[in-house]
Chain A
């Protein structure tokens, strides 16, 4: 990470040349807060911790920019400070030509589902606990970030993207167990073993948003690869909002069409309502089906499921945001493997957070 941070500092200096307007184009934002989770089950989702984040953006010139975000999270505390870097990259935007494009190099935050690029942040994540059927908590790095390059091309309201990188792992044993059902399989991240193709629709009026991605990942040279398709659509007219997203996992030995009914998939649907200018309420249901984990890892069938019905609310007072969310859950699929023997038939989570933005 040190090399990357030095590069982020050095490249702007080289590009900047005689242009001394750079101080005007240097912006710093951040947040500080606390997230408290109570659960009737003993799981890693029950994580209460202070949240501290810093975003530093630098418009070096009209076309070159650096984007850096640091977030003091449990991964950074438990597994090394390099996990505090949410993303840190240099990008080049070309907008003069008829087909605008953007190239980003560095530590990238991936597109995965509707919200992966913003779930690390209490101010932007959907709820206190994001829908686990789509954005699994145990895999909080593999599918979320990596070191590499990303290309995005704008075609009117459509954006086509391609990412190639070396994915990041936090706990290789946990992630190996989550994906393969075994903890003796070693995950070996390499550049090129992780690629993402994206197609998004983002019209200017911002009421609608469609995001889709196809992730191709190979955990080591011996394991077959996995394809993960994700698609989500969101509507927000400032009064009502609704979204639905799904993630489908296809191992290398299965076919998209022939084995479609046997593929593992998660679905999340949310409806929200603005009660006042400051008060927002929402209800979400997310479920994970066909995980087929019990057949491979010989775990209880209840653990093989995930059904989460939750209601939540947020309230903004100037720069302070308060959140409260209640989940009724059945199943354990979205939990860390070490929690698979927990009482998973029916359990509760209550989450709350307070965040100040500066």
Chain B
């Protein structure tokens, strides 16, 4: 059933105001991802390092429920990204780029979306259903049904 035109407009307006407010708030305050998510009483999800590698290199592009995984990362050559790769995926930037390029240039899957800061990361994750990304401190976060969840990673 179509939504009344006015409702549609007000929803869009509400989303825009929410996004702007969140961006400004995150910009002004130091971001602590874990606090922010715990405030929302979100769940915690477990992943192995192998699963995480498959997700962030775009080999795996669907969640178990069939929803498409949207991946957000920091710029590929940034220090934050290098630390993330080293800490959780256990691979070098060179190999990460190679794996991503093979997926991208062989017509298997599209690439990742790049954000430049933690603020942008949080906004993107909040606004993108079934997205996953990470913060500068290495915290991995995903959007599940509109709620942000902390991801706990265990080594295989």
Which A residues are closer than 8 A to B by beta carbons? 24-25, 27, 29, 53, 55, 57-59, 62, 65, 67, 69, 87, 89, 93-96, 100, 109, 117-118, 121, 123-124, 202-206, 236, 238, 274, 277-278, 280, 316, 318-319, 357
Contact = CB atoms under 8 A, between A and B. Distances in A.
Contact of A96 (B51, B66, B111): B66
Given A124-B102, A277-B93, A204 B107 contact: no
B146 interface: no
B107 A109 contact: yes
A206 B106 contact: no
Nearest to A121: B105
Interface residues of B, number: 34
A124 B59 contact: no
B62 A124 contact: no
A357 B104 CA distance: 12
A57 B111 contact: yes
Contacts of B107: 67, 69, 87, 89, 109, 117
Contacts of B50: 203-205
Contacts of B91: 238
A236 B62 CA distance: 24
Interface string B82-111: 000000001111110111011011110111
Given A29-B104, A29-B105, A57-B104, 20 more contacts: A27-B111, A58-B110, A59-B68, A67-B110, A95-B62, A100-B62, A118-B102, A118-B106, A121-B105, A124-B98, A124-B105, A204-B59, A205-B156, A206-B54, A206-B59, A236-B95, A238-B95, A274-B95, A277-B93, A357-B101
A320 B68 CA distance: 31
Given A55-B104, A206-B54, A62 B94 contact: no
A128 B101 CA distance: 16
B92 A274 contact: yes
B65 A96 contact: yes
13 contacts: A25-B110, A27-B113, A55-B104, A62-B67, A69-B105, A117-B106, A203-B50, A204-B60, A238-B95, A274-B92, A277-B94, A278-B94, A318-B77
Nearest to B124: A24
Nearest to A317: B77
A27 B72 CA distance: 13
A27 B111 CA distance: 8
B142 interface: no
A121 B102 CA distance: 10
Contacts of A319: 77
B81 interface: no
B101 A124 contact: yes
Contacts of A100: 62
A279 B33 CA distance: 35
B18 to A, nearest CB: 17
A206 B51 CA distance: 10
B16 to A, nearest CB: 14
A100 B107 CA distance: 18
A93 B156 CA distance: 29
A53 B102 CA distance: 14
Contact of A27 (B94, B105, B110): B110
A203 B48 CA distance: 13
A202 B57 CA distance: 13
Contacts of A318: 77
A53 B106 CA distance: 12
A111 to B, nearest CB: 9
A205 B53 contact: yes
Contact of A238 (B90, B101, B104): B90
A62 B61 CA distance: 10
Interface string B34-68: 00000000000000001101100101101001111
B116 to A, nearest CB: 16
A59 to B, nearest CB: 6
Nearest to A95: B62
Contacts of A58: 110
Contact of A118 (B62, B90, B95, B105): B105
B102 to A, nearest CB: 5
Contacts of A96: 65-66
Contacts of B66: 62, 94-96
Most buried by A among B53, B97, B110, B111: B110
Given A27-B111, A118-B105, A204 B54 contact: yes
Nearest to A316: B94
A92 to B, nearest CB: 13
Nearest to B77: A318
Contacts of A53: 105
